[in-house]
A and B are shown apart, each in its own frame.
Chain A
């Protein structure tokens, strides 16, 4: 982040396959040494974006620049990037150490250097003693770590990581997150990291790129993305959000639920319809007679640190995270301070997200293994 020298630039990239638009008008500038994360739901074009940078997909239009030079004519093997593939793509005919040594052998490095690097890399990914193991005798997580070691051993300037930790259990994933972040910092490598785990994206990255349906929805620091989501999609995808229809009467004044609230946002037209985002953890619960709004509790779930409380306000259900317990059917009031309210322009995503009316625990992805299984990451574990 400190260096502002641009290393990779994607300019107006468009890709379609079988008549379907996979990426549309993608613009992205990446600085040397930056940790950039592409975040978005399955099928939004994250892998395709990496493949364009790696040289495996030629865009229909638009250009890729590396150090200011157009890479269009550069085949993958000449590009100074290495990839950790979503499906590992390890060489089945080689054992662990030969997989890791592959890139160095191709470059004709010295035997002693190769051996030394292989051992260092295996240590890094916690696979000491696995040198001679055949790939098909490794677990999914072990294979994933071999893939990480293999890409790092090539000492690339830019590393493309396609969900590199998806197959690991929580503890190993946390360890590897820290390890990857360490490697990235200490070696000064630019990381372009793909994940659909928003927590991972927020905790590791310098810059988060939120994508949906082949378009970039927002680029920003993790704090920006969380605190100032640009539209309902981003607000909903990053964390939990209550999203309501509102009218922006003038700067610093918004109306929703028939009541005017002071807020911190400016720059909208007079009486412009807007989306109002209120994060569940920002809402203060007070006795019913003291609140700006009053509602009825319809569901409560204990989440460890807090209670997830669903409250019905005139037929519109909000999620509120609170450390206090309010039983179902209790009537509560809420207070909204200006800094708790975030205003967004209307977008194609308006009215699609942010209502917890149909909310139940089934939609809680983290808590439900069945939802996880539908993600292709889980399928890969079985491979």
Chain B
């Protein structure tokens, strides 16, 4: 016991310095006014951001679902591949992550712009007339695309890491007992992948909901997500740390609630299969 306590000391210090204290500061800002007096007015002013919160969670959820649908078969295919092939595939999935996040998003910008690569291409092949363009950028679709593109690896990797532990013989046993492809998936692969799915959902949903870079670059000035709202409260002219802190706090609570719901659904799924 003593030893494990000593070993945990640096971690406790780290947590205190960089998690507990900052959280305390956020709390303090959220519940005080400019004079440092206790107040609930910040909280009550949050109401006007309800739409922003709603849109953020909506777009984040869509991106998460798309990631899940794309990542599941991908991760499963990788997990069944042999030796070197498997390593190569994992590398290819991780490769974009080694490139700067901003750079990747800028790249999408130049693809989606009205005079971007895609529109130019459509004009060249004659689908669009000269001067015409499909509006790709500055749409909610572009934001979701950016989220999916940037966060897909965070779904693939945790899924892959649990799937790779599923023994082939277990899948064969399910087939042997009469399961077709869908039954193998529903009764064996899915329940055995649940832990990876849960962490994948967390790792995609949380950054997607709170992103502001993607909204800014691909969503234009029209769309405001909660990440952008928080950013404006800390940077620039209208900055208001108290409202910003409150927004952050509410976002945190909302994400926790979403995660709790996901967790409950997962548990139920497990109980169902058992």
Contact = CB atoms under 8 A, between A and B. Distances in A.
Interface in B159-185: 167, 169-170, 172-180, 183
Contacts of B172: 54, 56, 76, 83, 85, 89
B187 to A, nearest CB: 7
Interface stretch (A91-99, A171-179, A271-279): A91-99
A262 interface: no
B188 interface: yes
Contact of B191 (A85, A93, A154): A93
A89 B191 contact: no
A89 B173 contact: yes
B169 A154 contact: no
Interface stretch (A102-110, A236-244, A325-333): A102-110
Contacts of B192: 92-93
A181 interface: no
Contact of B170 (A55, A91, A95, A103): A91
B180 A94 contact: no
Contacts of B173: 83, 85, 89-91, 150
B175 A102 contact: no
Interface string A137-157: 000000000000011001000
Contacts of B180: 75, 77
A325 to B, nearest CB: 50
Interface in B81-107: none
A346 interface: no
Interface in A297-312: none
Contacts of A56: 172, 175
B274 interface: yes
B175 A94 contact: no
Interface residues of B, number: 20
Contacts of B187: 102, 105-106
Contacts, number: 71
Question: At the interface, is chain B mostly helix, strand, loop or mixed?
Answer: helix
Nearest to B178: A106
A195 interface: no
Interface residues of A, number: 27
Given A103-B178, A106-B183, A94 B273 contact: yes
B170 A77 contact: no
A77 B178 contact: yes
A75 B192 CA distance: 23
A95 B274 CA distance: 7
A82 interface: yes
B100 to A, nearest CB: 40
A83 B176 CA distance: 7
A164 B274 CA distance: 25
A87 interface: yes
Contacts of B188: 91, 93
Nearest to B177: A103
A85 B169 contact: yes
Interface of A: 54-56, 75-77, 81-83, 85, 87, 89-95, 98, 102-103, 105-107, 150-151, 154
Given A106-B179, A106-B187, 14 more contacts: A75-B175, A77-B176, A77-B178, A85-B172, A85-B176, A87-B167, A93-B270, A93-B274, A94-B274, A102-B174, A106-B177, A106-B183, A150-B173, A151-B176
The 6 closest A-B pairs by CB, nearest first: A103-B177, A89-B169, A89-B173, A76-B175, A77-B175, A106-B178
9 contacts: A54-B172, A56-B175, A75-B175, A77-B176, A77-B177, A93-B188, A103-B177, A150-B173, A151-B177
